[in-house]
Amino acid sequence: MDVLRRSIIGTSLAVVAALGLSACGGGDDGGDSNTLRVTLVNHVWTENIKRALPEFEQQTGLKVEVTQLGEDQLSDQYNVKLNAGSSDIDVMMYRPLQEGKLFAKNGYLADLTEKAKGDAQFALDDFQAGPLQATTYEDKVVGIPIITEQEVLYYRKDLLEKAGYSAPPKTLDELKAAAAKIEAENPGIAGFVARTGKAAAVTQFSSFLFSYGGDFVDASGKAVINSEQAKQAYAFYGGLLREHGPENISTDMSWSEAMAIFTQGKAAFYTEANSLYKNATDPAKSKVSDTVGFAPFPAGPAGSKPYNIPSWALAINEASKNQANAWKFIQWAAGKEQALKQQKEGVPGARTSVWENPEGISTYPKDLADAISISTANGVGHDRPLVVKVAEAREIVGQPIVDAITGKDVAASADAANEAFQKLLDDEK
């Protein structure tokens, strides 16, 4: 009898296992469903949209499931899911300048041209040309920009006043002099702080590069990060951090670490994206909330040339089976009404209407609004090399930044980086 029982158990186990496996394979539901799966990044924008979601759900009768992740984890998630052709992401928030080209090239992003152009109320022509350009791939609109970013100078009003300055520095040379003076007069406080991580620093360094008259790639498509201007920009940015940055400076800092040093009151100046300003002005997050000031990016030899870019956009996953409803979400979340609300909550938008509407910037600190309007006027449309392999390119062009911070030979480092960068450009042709 024992053998008999064993054979029955064995058979049933095998059947259960087989059933279990086949069930795993056919998990996804097909067709339009009432549940919309939206993947968003940790951002003030996302917090605002989540608060407004019930309104959208009531209007449409849809149920929205939000997955919210940090920037790096979001990238990894997309890499895994989109690579596998998974349909369980409908709407995705992505970085047009970081992943836009790669995703579009791989066919991950649905073509939104007809949907967007055919909708008068949505008004595609209301979007700023630069940002919309960044979400267009081979003449097809594949994303809708929702957040724009410009680099501005964060500074401490109290420290400047104490050092006898009546206004924030207007040029990079003035910035350096003021940083040196404040640092000398206030032990324990650094004159300047900014991102130092090889890849993380590239975007915030780009405004220095442009203001020195350089760029990553020239008009003919050649790598020019070893130009005289670029070398000077690398040396200036790295030198500023080495000489007037925090002691024992780490070369891994992204915005969160640099922002922490500034908001802990340990630095006088900080160059960073304006979209993060709430971290410095919110008393719950910042010890310097009442003394922080904002100024336009200081001018270099080529003038003040901060970047002005679309940092985040919404797109529809090409493999999604719920594309019609996904578009409804984008219509609403990137529509005029929500854009204005977001703008008032401190998230700089990509629609011209929200900037022209005085209500749009009514909640911004006055000096920040002024700085932004100057930056949008003379800003450069990119803050990193516009290639497919952005992550790799950032590491290459970021190496001279780190070498400048640690006091290595900047010129040699820029030459080496330029060679590697040119190779990457050639490979992509």
In this complex, which beta carbon is closest to another protein, that of residue 58 or of residue 248?
248
State which amino acid sits at residue 50: K
In this complex, which beta carbon is closest to another protein, that of residue 12 or of residue 35?
12
Burial of residue 324 (CB within 10 Å: 0-12, 13-18, 19+) is exposed
DSSP for 237-276 reads HHHHHHHHS-TT--S---HHHHHHHHHTT-EEEEEEEGGG
Tokens representing 179 are 């940083």
In this complex, which beta carbon is closest to another protein, that of residue 12 or of residue 373?
12
CB 163 within 8 A of CB 191: no
Q: How far apart are CA 102 and CA 96, in angstroms?
A: 9
CB 178 within 8 A of CB 240: no
Closest contact distance (angstroms) between CB of 235 and another protein is 17
Closest contact distance (angstroms) between CB of 125 and another protein is 33
In this complex, which beta carbon is closest to another protein, that of residue 17 or of residue 377?
17
Closest contact distance (angstroms) between CB of 404 and another protein is 12
Closest contact distance (angstroms) between CB of 102 and another protein is 6
Closest contact distance (angstroms) between CB of 87 and another protein is 14
* Residues of the shown chain interacting with another protein in the complex, contacts defined by CB under 8 A: 1, 3-4, 6-7, 10-11, 13-14, 16-18, 21, 72, 75-76, 79, 82-85, 102, 105-108, 196-199, 246-252, 254, 260-261, 264, 266, 388-389, 391-392, 395, 398, 402, 406
Instruction: Please name the helix (run of DSSP H) or strand (run of DSSP E) that holds residue 50, with its range, or none.
Output: helix 44-60
Closest contact distance (angstroms) between CB of 64 and another protein is 27
In this complex, which beta carbon is closest to another protein, that of residue 14 or of residue 129?
14
Closest contact distance (angstroms) between CB of 103 and another protein is 9
In this complex, which beta carbon is closest to another protein, that of residue 121 or of residue 248?
248
Sequence-ordered list of residues with C-beta below 8 angstroms from that of 77, at least 6 positions apart, any chain: 39, 67, 69
Tokens representing 373 are 């309007």
CA-based nearest residue to 134, from 161, 178, 107, 104: 104
Sequence-ordered list of residues with C-beta below 8 angstroms from that of 7, at least 6 positions apart, any chain: none
In this complex, which beta carbon is closest to another protein, that of residue 157 or of residue 287?
287
Instruction: Please name the helix (run of DSSP H) or strand (run of DSSP E) that holds residue 369, with its range, or none.
Output: helix 366-378
Q: How far apart are CA 83 and CA 323, in angstroms?
A: 18
In this complex, which beta carbon is closest to another protein, that of residue 166 or of residue 248?
248
Q: Where are the alpha helices (DSSP H) in 71-196?
A: 71-83, 101-105, 113-117, 129-134, 157-162, 172-185
In this complex, which beta carbon is closest to another protein, that of residue 375 or of residue 399?
399
In this complex, which beta carbon is closest to another protein, that of residue 249 or of residue 411?
249
CA-based nearest residue to 306, from 171, 210, 196: 210
Between the alpha carbon of residue 157 and those of residues 77, 162, 247, 367, 373, the distances in Å are 41, 9, 22, 12, 21
State which amino acid sits at residue 29: D
Closest contact distance (angstroms) between CB of 284 and another protein is 18
Closest contact distance (angstroms) between CB of 22 and another protein is 11
Between the alpha carbon of residue 1 and those of residues 7, 8, 68, the distances in Å are 10, 11, 56
Task: Count the neighbouring beta carbons within 10 Å of the beta carbon of residue 105.
Answer: 12
Closest contact distance (angstroms) between CB of 118 and another protein is 30
CA angle 343, 348, 353 (to 5 degrees): 65
Closest contact distance (angstroms) between CB of 159 and another protein is 17
In this complex, which beta carbon is closest to another protein, that of residue 117 or of residue 408?
408
Largest CA distance in the chain: 98
